[in-house]
Amino acid sequence: MERLEYQEGRTEISHLGRVALIERLTADSGCQGDDCAVIGEGEQKTLVTTQTLVEGVDFDMMYTPLKHLGYKAVAVALSNIAAMNGTPRQVLVSVAVSNRYSVEALDEFYAGIHLCCQRYDTKLVGGDFGSTRAGMVVTVTALGDVAADHVVWRRGAHHNDLLCVSGDLGSAYAGLLVLEREKVTYQADPNFQPDLAGFDYVLERFLKPEPRVDIVRELARRGVVPTAMTDVSEGLADSLLHLTRASGCGCEVYEDRIPIDYQTSRVCSEMSKNMLPVSCALNGGKDYELLFAVAQSDYERIKEMEGVHIIGYVTEEGMPAVMVTPQNTTIELKAQGFARQ
Amino acid sequence: MERLEYQEGRTEISHLGRVALIERLTADSGCQGDDCAVIGEGEQKTLVTTQTLVEGVDFDMMYTPLKHLGYKAVAVALSNIAAMNGTPRQVLVSVAVSNRYSVEALDEFYAGIHLCCQRYDTKLVGGDFGSTRAGMVVTVTALGDVAADHVVWRRGAHHNDLLCVSGDLGSAYAGLLVLEREKVTYQADPNFQPDLAGFDYVLERFLKPEPRVDIVRELARRGVVPTAMTDVSEGLADSLLHLTRASGCGCEVYEDRIPIDYQTSRVCSEMSKNMLPVSCALNGGKDYELLFAVAQSDYERIKEMEGVHIIGYVTEEGMPAVMVTPQNTTIELKAQGFARQ
């Protein structure tokens, strides 16, 4: 019998980093390292993705209604299907909870799951149910499909392709900041009534994100197959680095092209004069929007697409991933650490 | 903001029970309630299953080597594929750990995952990696395939079908008993050296179970499609009740036909004179053997199949699930509670 702490030659996970760790652990496995695994031999591919959310790390029960949590757990998994240009079809939900959770609490959680499934025409086909000693752990596995010649990886971007994002960025993180602020105040004074008025958009962005299945559908309708795509789950900087590294190229994006909602800017100015909205967009994460590259020849097809913004373009192999400010300063984008949120 | 404990009209999960809970939560979802979800429209069906293992509930780090844990997590998921007569093809592994775990510890864990994948010709195609505040949580999603007319559910058994089990039962639980005994002694005296000699078989059965993919293959080779099947993950009684209830029938099994290894009997006699080996088989669980029903007309095809034992037969609708002792006493089999282990 041995205890984990006594191991010799110990390397901390934080030292290696999450992405490097996944690469290390799955190096020999034929694992794709993309948003989904792509399986099947025929014309129609099956996409599969799995994602675990842990209470106290990925969500805080203090301000996460269980119905929203169920919705979000499914939405996050479906976002991975959308990120490979797929249509979601089925989900499986594996839940483990402590005895602190009642059946009624789980009913609420599943109501959120059913709602998201219904909205995205996806069936809940299975799952597992177990116990923990403390807290809740949710794993959603999502399956989807896509024609073999329409699968979009992170690795297909080419020099001069246009870089686009859907929706706006940084708003989910702004919502989280509001909730964290109210939580701290509430903890100091339990009689305190949280005032969330005027923040409805950013709160909804954090608590109930929507996978951009609509963007995938609209791209198909317009006959556009992106050259590369990923979802923006850990911030725009992280997604840009993933996409450009996988594609073996660099990128240049323009700060004033990055779509940011006015509520996000308002939260930033209320929080601190040093907090920039663009930092929320680059590093905040949890927006679950899509970042994709399209060939210049598709410009006419996407330029007026609702909710899509061209933020820059793909540069040559060997070039870094950079952002250009309105003052024409070039800032190199950096990878984020291990923390998810 | 609200706290979960304050909810009115609270129903405890333990009050409802795990199986009833899964049925309640997935009632409107088209969820199959079988070992896997069956998806796809064509001749070839895809099987999908997902299972979460939580440290301190489903495994104890005190006596579970990480390599074994990785192997077992995959094996348990593949067992669900086998239980529907399928061939496993891919797995996705989602892991969340605290900072107590080093990269080297995760290397060990993944070595076990790779080993089990290799042994069962299954590819690790994806997954997720995250953090917990304490402990380890592992979710394995497995995919497999099976011809549409060879899918075997729990619900297909008919009156007079023969009931068969693979391998032997109760040995995994016997292994757990040995490990628990040594753990208690070690906790009382950390200088104590565990003596596990002579228990190698039952220990391996608990720490490194094998999914019975070989039985599925051999049944196919002999041209036998069971009428109903499930794996024995929570004890034989639980599996018999699931299979007969789903099929709308009863069953009669014979105590002296239930295969039990001599090491299982030895552990029982060492532990307590009141502990019967057949109780381990009925209620112990974690054996991951297969329980299946076959038509009487298949008797000749399976009677000499290695590692398969005919333990009884299926009775009519309205009859209970019973075990007949060597003294000809009939004992009705009861459902287990919520606890997994």
Q: For B202-213, b where at least 16 C-beta lie within 10 A, e where not — what string? A: bbebbbbbbbbb
Q: Which residue stretches of chain B have pLDDT < 50?
A: 1-3, 6, 337-341
Which residue's entry shows tokens 């394995």? B140
The pLDDT, as a whole number, for residue A14 is 79
- CA A25, CA A47: separation in Å to the nearest integer? 21
**Chain-chain contact of B100 with A4 (C-beta, under 8 angstroms):** yes
Q: Is A101 on the interface with B (CB under 8 A)?
A: yes
Collapsing DSSP to helix, strand or coil, B126 comes out as strand
- pTM of the shown model: 0.92
Collapsing DSSP to helix, strand or coil, A76 comes out as helix
**Chain-chain contact of A105 with B7 (C-beta, under 8 angstroms):** yes
Q: For A183-214, b where at least 16 C-beta lie within 10 A, e where not — what string? A: eeebeeeeeeeeeeeebeebbebbbbbbbbbe
- CA A84, CA A148: separation in Å to the nearest integer? 11
Chain A residues within 8 A of B135 when measuring between CB atoms: 133
**Chain-chain contact of B106 with A54 (C-beta, under 8 angstroms):** no
Q: Which helix (H) or strand (E) holds B67?
A: helix B66-82
The pLDDT, as a whole number, for residue A29 is 56
The pLDDT, as a whole number, for residue B185 is 86
What tokens appear for B172 in the block? 């995994």
- CA B92, CA B90: separation in Å to the nearest integer? 7
φ/ψ of residue A163, rounded to 5 = -100, 130
Of A36, A92, A106, the CB nearest to B48: A92
The pLDDT, as a whole number, for residue B341 is 33
- Do residues A341 and A18 lie in contact, with contact meaning Cβ atoms separated by under 8 Å? no
Chain B residues within 8 A of A93 when measuring between CB atoms: 50
Instruction: List strand residue ranges (DSSP E) for chain B, in order.
Output: 37-39, 44-54, 87-97, 123-131, 136-147, 162-166, 228-232, 250-254, 289-294, 308-315, 321-324, 330-332
In A, minimum Cα distance to B51 occurs at A128
- Do residues A210 and A290 lie in contact, with contact meaning Cβ atoms separated by under 8 Å? no
Of A137, A143, A339, the CB nearest to B52: A137
- Do residues B240 and B251 lie in contact, with contact meaning Cβ atoms separated by under 8 Å? yes
Neighbours of B298 (CB within 10 A): 20
- Do residues A250 and A319 lie in contact, with contact meaning Cβ atoms separated by under 8 Å? yes
**Chain-chain contact of B5 with A131 (C-beta, under 8 angstroms):** no
Selection from B338, B68, B33 nearest residue A98 by Cα: B338
- CA A161, CA A294: separation in Å to the nearest integer? 5
Of A53, A103, A182, the CB nearest to B16: A103
Distance between terminal CA atoms of chain B? 35
Rg of chain A over Cα atoms, rounded to whole angstroms, equals: 20
- CA B76, CA A298: separation in Å to the nearest integer? 47
> CA B312 from chain center: how many Å?
20
The pLDDT, as a whole number, for residue B1 is 47
Q: Please say whether the dihedral angle defined by the alpha carbons of residues B19, B20, B21 and B24, taken in this order, is positive or negative.
A: positive
φ/ψ of residue B256, rounded to 5 = -75, 0
**What is the count of residue pairs from A and B with beta carbons less than 8 Å apart?**
252
- CA A292, CA A312: separation in Å to the nearest integer? 11
Domains, chain A, in order of start with CATH, read 32-150 (3.30.1330.10), 162-332 (3.90.650.10)
The pLDDT, as a whole number, for residue B60 is 95
Collapsing DSSP to helix, strand or coil, B97 comes out as strand
Chain A residues within 8 A of B131 when measuring between CB atoms: 54, 57, 338-340
Which residue's entry shows tokens 């999914």? B211
Collapsing DSSP to helix, strand or coil, B278 comes out as helix
Measured in angstroms, the CA of B46 and the nearest CA of chain A are apart by: 10
Measured in angstroms, the CA of B33 and the nearest CA of chain A are apart by: 7
Measured in angstroms, the CA of B154 and the nearest CA of chain A are apart by: 15
The pLDDT, as a whole number, for residue A28 is 54
Q: Is A26 on the interface with B (CB under 8 A)?
A: yes
Of B31, B132, B194, the CB nearest to A57: B132
The pLDDT, as a whole number, for residue A337 is 39
Q: Is A181 on the interface with B (CB under 8 A)?
A: no
Q: Is B303 on the interface with A (CB under 8 A)?
A: no
Q: Is B61 on the interface with A (CB under 8 A)?
A: yes
Which residue out of A137, A182, A207, A336 would a mutagenesis test of the B interface target, given it has the greatest number of B Cβ atoms within 10 Å?
A137
Selection from A109, A211, A115 nearest residue A167 by Cα: A211
Q: Which residue stretches of chain A have pLDDT < 50?
A: 1-3, 6, 337-341
**Chain-chain contact of B139 with A50 (C-beta, under 8 angstroms):** yes
Which residue's entry shows tokens 């290397």? B107
Burial of A271 (0-12, 13-18, 19+ CB in 10 A): middle
What tokens appear for A72 in the block? 């979000």
Q: Is A127 on the interface with B (CB under 8 A)?
A: yes
Rg of chain B over Cα atoms, rounded to whole angstroms, equals: 20
Instruction: List strand residue ranges (DSSP E) for A157-201, in order.
Output: 162-166
Chain A residues within 8 A of B233 when measuring between CB atoms: none
